[in-house]
A and B are shown apart, each in its own frame.
Chain A
Amino acid sequence: MAQEKVLEINQLKTYFHTKRGIGKVVDGIDLTLHKGETLGIVGESGCGKSMTSLSVLQLVPDPGKIVEGSVRLNNEELVGKSEKQMRNIRGNQISMIFQEPMTSLNPVISVGEQIAETIREHQGLNRKQAFQKSIEMLKLVGIPSPEKRAKQEPFQLSGGMRQRVMIAMALACNPEVLIADEPTTALDVTIQSQILKLMKNLQKKLKMGIIFITHDLGVVAETCDRVAVMYAGEIVEYSTTEELFRHPKHPYTKGLLQSLPKLYEDQEELQAMEGSIPSPFKEHQGCKFTDRCPIAEDSCHQIHPDLKMSSDHSYQVRCLFYQEEKELTKGMSSV
């Protein structure tokens, strides 16, 4: 499959410089997103998945900074661009949807205006045209009587509706990349599947690449083509969704999958595995997963494993003990 790359992230490092020391929140991430594809980033809260996405848009909150690496949009380097240049990209070529539709919309501005201002900012339409377009967008995301809704403020809309508004807002300028940061976590199950379906349909229509950030492997299975599993600022496993679910390789991925049924019952953050992610401020010599790893040995405390590529380039794993099993790797699309 010769796919067109839209977004390429290389050795991205985002560190937080504080009095306590340096927090390596994102510590050398490589990712590639193709046109029309959905790439999942999975991990527990605090693994750096949200910071990765904010780094792409250069919206990392203080005192965080991108210290190294590159983010390329259609082969154009974004790291180092000025705030003004980035503003032209945000909401225009790369859009973002956030987790909490309750708090992510401005409570004192009508939803129509919140969509329209994005359109005005990037497409130079006048007030009336932009508002008209925002009504069209509301229609596109399946909001009934969009003319009426556009004039309402967020508090008059339900949670599912608000997330639809967020999607309409993100897609208003027809972006090439949509970053969805836990877009369905705050919603109940039926609304969740409606929203996912909507995103899938719109993706087909608009041909955008989606980066789907979630802690929920069930959602990954439903939506993503490929998945990167993140742990403590690093990718520990990176493969197709099918391969990941059939043959998880990293002990962390295996642990995540084992906790999956339980996850479906109470929709909590992934906590089924014992222990928690080490603090990004802690210095590591060996593998960052050692403390929780069921197969860790002495060498794991000494050597930091590289992200090893399989011989057919179909997946990557970061584990000292992983041995490639040839019979499992055939017929996989390349990463």
Chain B
Amino acid sequence: MLAFITKRLAQTIPVIFGITLVVFLIMQMVPGDSAQVLAGEGASKETIENLRHNLGLDRPLYVQYFDSIAGLFQGDLGISAKSHQPVINEITTRLPISVELAFYSTLITIILGMTAGIISAVRPYSVSDMSVMVVALLGISFPSFWLGLILMYIFSVELQWFPVSGWDSVKHMILPAFTLGASGAAIVARMTRSSMLEVVRQDYIRTARAKGIRGYLVIYKHALRNALIPVITVVGLQFGALLGGTVLIESVFAINGLGRLIVESIRMRDIPMVQGGILVASLVFVIVNLFVDILYRFFNRRIDLN
């Protein structure tokens, strides 16, 4: 197990460098001159040249890259072209909101998805199974940003149960978290169902029944524990989609998270902010994936070693 964690960590480091390199290179393709943008319109050539020199933009590319990596490790992601404040400051206020949103959405993904999947699997091909599967199909087919608008229209505008936008109380969080978690829940429901149907056919389930164990224990103790192991991976993979989804959902519900920051910064051509935001979001994703992988390995060790 320890060897696996070490190996997995070792694999992650080049990936992190790769991500920084890719983001750095893409940002180099930006037309125009960041020094010019930063200096603002009407700045003299001299000011721009000075700024360029101060920012180190006149050095060779590779020097700039290693410099930005060194900066990254010190928490320095550059200066926003818009607010002229360090990018990291804005990100540290925005990131927790997105993480919170992602966390609640993950909860919804897990709870709703697994419950629906179990309901389906307990009576396969029954009316309840078919209904759950149809809803799940809708769940993966609806565009999340559209679902958000519709839910907002129904629950905030018509029924007035929830506030339209913002991020202050639990009431604010329910609709966005549900919207963001819906497609993940649908995927988890399908996965849980097929995994349960697979597990129910296993020999140890027959053994449990032959021992006279009562039905619900056979399902919840013997089958579910095994069925959920592959589902963990799906939840982990979903987290990436979720993180990407925050970009859309935060825009729909006007939540000031990292996703919305990135989108607004793209519109305002605040390249250092975009670069910093994408880097941080990607790193969070890589770290969560690493964690999920280790978790999966931990749960799966008994099966792997057979």
Q: Do chains A and B touch in the complex (CB under 8 A)?
A: yes
Would A102 and B306 count as touching, CB distance under 8 A?
yes
Would B210 and A96 count as touching, CB distance under 8 A?
yes
Query: Measured between alpha carbons, how far is A259 from B135 in the docked complex, in Å?
Result: 58
Q: DSSP class of B's interface residues: helix, strand, loop or mixed?
A: helix
Which residues from chain B contact A108 at a C-beta distance below 8 Å? 225-226, 229, 299, 302
Query: Measured between alpha carbons, how far is A190 from B210 in the docked complex, in Å?
Result: 28
Would B213 and A104 count as touching, CB distance under 8 A?
no
Is B202 among interface residues, defined by CB-CB distance under 8 A?
Answer: yes
Query: Measured between alpha carbons, how far is A179 from B79 in the docked complex, in Å?
Result: 76
Query: Measured between alpha carbons, how far is A100 from B214 in the docked complex, in Å?
Result: 23
Query: Measured between alpha carbons, how far is A103 from B206 in the docked complex, in Å?
Result: 10
Which residues from chain A contact B211 at a C-beta distance below 8 Å? 90-91, 95, 117-118, 121, 169
Which residues from chain B contact A167 at a C-beta distance below 8 Å? none
Would B302 and A107 count as touching, CB distance under 8 A?
yes
Which residues from chain A contact B303 at a C-beta distance below 8 Å? 107, 155
Per-residue interface assignment for chain B, residues 207 to 234, with 1 indicating a CB less than 8 Å from any chain A CB and 0 otherwise = 1111111110100011001100100000
Is B204 among interface residues, defined by CB-CB distance under 8 A?
Answer: yes
Query: Measured between alpha carbons, how far is A96 from B206 in the docked complex, in Å?
Result: 10
Per-residue interface assignment for chain A, residues 87 to 100, with 1 indicating a CB less than 8 Å from any chain B CB and 0 otherwise = 11111100110101
Is A137 among interface residues, defined by CB-CB distance under 8 A?
Answer: no
Is A47 among interface residues, defined by CB-CB distance under 8 A?
Answer: no
Is B203 among interface residues, defined by CB-CB distance under 8 A?
Answer: yes
Is A57 among interface residues, defined by CB-CB distance under 8 A?
Answer: yes
Query: Measured between alpha carbons, how far is A86 from B209 in the docked complex, in Å?
Result: 10
Residue of A95, A106, A122 contacting most chain B CB atoms (<10 Å): A106
Is A30 among interface residues, defined by CB-CB distance under 8 A?
Answer: no
- Give 18 CB contacts A-B under 8 Å: A57-B210, A59-B206, A59-B210, A87-B213, A90-B212, A102-B306, A104-B206, A105-B207, A106-B204, A106-B207, A107-B302, A108-B229, A108-B299, A109-B225, A118-B211, A118-B212, A121-B212, A166-B207
Would A154 and B203 count as touching, CB distance under 8 A?
no
Would B204 and A107 count as touching, CB distance under 8 A?
yes
Which residues from chain B contact A102 at a C-beta distance below 8 Å? 306
Query: Measured between alpha carbons, how far is A86 from B212 in the docked complex, in Å?
Result: 8
Q: A residues engaging B (CB < 8 A)?
A: 57, 59, 83, 86-92, 95-96, 98, 100, 102-109, 117-118, 121-122, 153-155, 166, 169
Which residues from chain A contact B203 at a C-beta distance below 8 Å? 98, 100, 103-104
Smallest CB-CB separation from A118: which chain B residue?
B211
Would A91 and B212 count as touching, CB distance under 8 A?
yes
Q: B residues engaging A (CB < 8 A)?
A: 202-204, 206-215, 217, 221-222, 225-226, 229, 299, 301-303, 305-306
In-complex Cβ contact of A122 among B212, B302, B306 (8 A): B212
Smallest CB-CB separation from B223: which chain A residue?
A106
Query: Measured between alpha carbons, how far is A55 from B268 in the docked complex, in Å?
Result: 73
Would B204 and A118 count as touching, CB distance under 8 A?
no
Query: Measured between alpha carbons, how far is A107 from B225 in the docked complex, in Å?
Result: 10
Which residues from chain A contact B305 at a C-beta distance below 8 Å? 155
Would B210 and A153 count as touching, CB distance under 8 A?
no
Smallest CB-CB separation from A94: which chain B residue?
B210
Query: Measured between alpha carbons, how far is A88 from B212 in the docked complex, in Å?
Result: 6
Would B210 and A103 count as touching, CB distance under 8 A?
no
Known: A155-B302, A155-B303, A155-B305. A105 touches B210 (CB 8 A): no
Smallest CB-CB separation from A83: which chain B residue?
B215
Distance of B304 from chain A, by nearest CB (Å): 8
Would B210 and A106 count as touching, CB distance under 8 A?
no
Residue of B206, B209, B210, B215 contacting most chain A CB atoms (<10 Å): B210
Would A107 and B306 count as touching, CB distance under 8 A?
yes
Query: Measured between alpha carbons, how far is A86 from B214 in the docked complex, in Å?
Result: 10
Which residues from chain B contact A169 at a C-beta distance below 8 Å? 207, 211
Distance of B164 from chain A, by nearest CB (Å): 45
Query: Measured between alpha carbons, how far is A103 from B204 in the docked complex, in Å?
Result: 6
In-complex Cβ contact of A103 among B202, B213, B225 (8 A): B202
Query: Measured between alpha carbons, how far is A90 from B207 in the docked complex, in Å?
Result: 10
Which residues from chain A contact B221 at a C-beta distance below 8 Å? 109, 117
In-complex Cβ contact of A153 among B207, B217, B229, B302 (8 A): B302
Which residues from chain A contact B210 at a C-beta distance below 8 Å? 57, 59, 90-91, 95-96, 98
Which residues from chain A contact B225 at a C-beta distance below 8 Å? 106, 108-109
Residue of A86, A90, A100 contacting most chain B CB atoms (<10 Å): A90
Distance of B52 from chain A, by nearest CB (Å): 61
Distance of B40 from chain A, by nearest CB (Å): 62
Smallest CB-CB separation from B224: which chain A residue?
A108
Query: Measured between alpha carbons, how far is A176 from B226 in the docked complex, in Å?
Result: 32
Would B214 and A121 count as touching, CB distance under 8 A?
yes
Query: Measured between alpha carbons, how far is A108 from B303 in the docked complex, in Å?
Result: 8
Query: Measured between alpha carbons, how far is A169 from B203 in the docked complex, in Å?
Result: 15
Which residues from chain B contact A154 at a C-beta distance below 8 Å? 302
Distance of B214 from chain A, by nearest CB (Å): 6
Residue of A100, A105, A109, A166 contacting most chain B CB atoms (<10 Å): A109
Distance of A210 from chain B, by nearest CB (Å): 15
In-complex Cβ contact of B207 among A83, A87, A88, A104 (8 A): A104
Which residues from chain A contact B306 at a C-beta distance below 8 Å? 102, 107, 155
Query: Measured between alpha carbons, how far is A166 from B203 in the docked complex, in Å?
Result: 12
Which residues from chain B contact A155 at a C-beta distance below 8 Å? 301-303, 305-306
Known: A59-B209, A155-B302, A155-B305. A106 touches B226 (CB 8 A): yes
Which residues from chain A contact B222 at a C-beta distance below 8 Å? 106, 109
Would B213 and A118 count as touching, CB distance under 8 A?
yes
Distance of B159 from chain A, by nearest CB (Å): 44
Which residues from chain B contact A57 at a C-beta distance below 8 Å? 210
Known: A102-B306, A106-B226, A109-B225. A92 touches B212 (CB 8 A): yes
Q: Which 7 A-B pairs have the closest CB atoms?
A: A91-B211, A90-B212, A91-B212, A103-B203, A155-B302, A106-B204, A96-B210
Which residues from chain A contact B217 at a C-beta distance below 8 Å? 117
